Structure 1
């Protein structure tokens, strides 16, 4: 089965409603490493119910459509797909609890050619179910490695955001825990690749790897810490490309370049000196 461009572009997704509690908000924050130092009061506001705040990156798990690429009607060779990139646009800070709704849509499918795969860009806007206000817009880029050459229109691939050639203006080192993936998966992504040693080994990894969106959350934490003084209202936008997996327990160093309200960044694992997130861009105030 192959991708049918018109059919996939017009695919209808269900409107999803998602109710989350302060416990869910705390669990998400613990999963991306908040609270590793329980005496850090700036981090405590994301994992303690007294004045609880939601991390902006929690938007990724709200009204999440699940692994829809596995459904037969998509025509996607789902075994060969990778999460290549993610963008998050915050319209207002997330509440610590509430009910939200969202509907996913396909924005574009880029046919890179036979043997080169295809890029699938999907989007969902998460809204407050009670007021109808937009909270955030999430744009995902999926690399379908087995689906190139299906005959899609000649659409250029999105250009990556540049990384300055000079030394970073600042860096932020944040540890992950050996059980980080086991905590993070409780926020809704139960892919066994992040929990089962045998599944991870069969996939070519030495151990279960961290979820890409968990690494995304660590990068968000780094920017929130270094540039926003932990104030979610000052965090407006982030986009990035995933370049390599992280193993739970490794330290993630975010290298940051600041130019007015625009931010360039990348993340590398300190222990292996491997870039795991590249072409990062953020907007803060």
Structure 2
């Protein structure tokens, strides 16, 4: 399918505004598995209880966005062959548990891997408080467009994935559960792709049952880093980047493996315990030590 580089690169994406409530913040936390035991320990309770509520940092990645422009025929994007490749997040200021925000999306670059290899588009969203104008977060992501390679662009300059240390055991690990109904909860935060709930749709793309949203797994990874290196304090996480590697099925256990790089910086990956498969790779995080 033909992609018009200049048209897409300069697409006039309008700002998106969103008001979110404490209920939305709690629903997101439940969607990424923040309440899998009873009673909940205080360090987890604060993410799902309106009293002294804290927003999980990764919630910022979901707010004030609209990708509907990609379906415009003028863009030439083959949506049937689009995959979420990577996710990046920088937290500038802790996300309030409720508020109004404005998201501004930009297309950074589109790399042409070749007609038989597809293309990769990198995008960035700045998230600002709608009242004060303060910059809260900068999120980014890559979109692997398998059907749009060979448009005549360059493959030079694509960001390299962050290396995970080889040859030594991780410095810390933690196993976090996902529940069989995890995807049905997470989708209520805004991603209604039927792939994650409808067995027939999942079967059409080669899965014997619905898979978990990649961004749900991303949220679980964020919770793991909070627990392992941030004392479960949402205000201490500053950056969370990773690459999506393999699908996760709701109900599987996610093991986050961490390697300390230097004070306040770490590499990580996330393994599916039951199948010994890497789900999230090339992870990098920064936090207040």
TM over 0.5: yes
Could you tell which deviates more after superposition, 38-47 or 170-179? 38-47
Return the alpha-carbon distance in structure 1 between the equivalents of residues 58 and 205 of structure 2: 27
Alignment deviations for residues 232-257 of structure 1 (CA, whole Å, 9 cap, x no partner): 11100011000000000000000000
CA distance in 2, matches of 1:219, 1:104: 24
Give the superposition deviation at 1:157: 2.0
Matches within 5 A, 1:142-181: 142-165=143-166, 166-181=168-183
* Partner secondary structure for residue 112 of structure 1: strand
The answer on 1:28 being equivalent to 2:31 is no
Does structure 2 retain, via aligned residues, the 8 Å contact 1:250–1:270?
A: yes
Indicate if the aligned counterparts of 2:89 and 2:240 stay in contact, CA closer than 8 A. yes
Q: Match for residue 233 of structure 1?
A: 235
Q: Across the two proteins, how many residue pairs are aligned to each other?
A: 285
CA distance in 2 between partners of 1:88 and 1:73 (Å) = 29
Give the aligned partner of residue 186 of structure 1: 188
The one of 223, 233, 243 equivalent to 2:225 is 223
User: Which portions of structure 1, spanning 4 or more consecutive aligned residues, are displaced by more than 3 angstroms?
Assistant: none
Between the aligned partners of 2:33 and 2:176, the Cα distance in structure 1 is: 8
TM score, norm. by length of structure 1:
0.98
Partner of 1:74: 75
* Cα displacement string for residues 167-186 of structure 1 (whole angstroms, at most 9, x for unaligned residues): 10010100000000000000
CA contact (8 A) 1:240 1:280 kept: yes
**Distance in 1 between residues matched to 2:215 and 2:221, nearest whole Å:** 10
Shift of 1:71: 2.4
Which of 247, 261, 264 is 1:261 aligned to? 264
**Secondary structure at 2:17's aligned position in 1?**
strand
Asked whether the equivalents of residues 13 and 69 of structure 2 are also in contact (C-alpha less than 8 Å), the reply is: no
Q: Which residue of 1 aligns with 2:44?
A: 43
Q: Secondary structure, in 3 states, of the residue corresponding to 1:7? A: helix
Pairwise CA distance, 1:43: 0.7
Match of 1:202 in 2: 204
> Per the alignment, do residues 154 and 84 of structure 1 end up closer, same or farther by CA in structure 2, a change over 3 Å counting?
closer
> Shift of residue 206 of structure 1?
1.2
Query: Are the counterparts in 1 of residues 230 and 236 from structure 2 also a CA contact under 8 Å?
Result: yes
Match of 1:5 in 2: 5
CA offset at residue 67 of structure 1? Answer: 4.3
Cα distance, 1:188 vs structure 2:
0.4
Q: TM-score, normalised by structure 2?
A: 0.97
In 2, Cα distance between equivalents of 1:68 and 1:281: 30
Q: Which moved more, 1:145-154 or 1:62-71?
A: 62-71
Show the counterpart of 1:281. 284
Determine if contact 1:38/1:44 at 8 Å carries over to the other structure. Answer: no
SS of alignment partner, residue 171 of structure 1? strand
What is the aligned partner in structure 2 of residue 18 from structure 1? 18
Which residue is 1:250 aligned to? 252
The runs of 5 or more residues in structure 1 that have no matched partner are none
1 CA distance for matches of 2:223 and 2:118? 32
Verify the 8 A CA contact 1:117 1:147 in the aligned structure 2.
yes
The CA RMSD over aligned residues, in Å, is 1.0
Q: Structure 1 stretch 221-230 or stretch 34-43: which is displaced more?
A: 34-43
d(CA) in 1 for partners of 2:94, 2:104: 20
How far apart in 2 are the matches of 1:275 and 1:193? 21
2:121 is paired with a residue whose SS is: strand
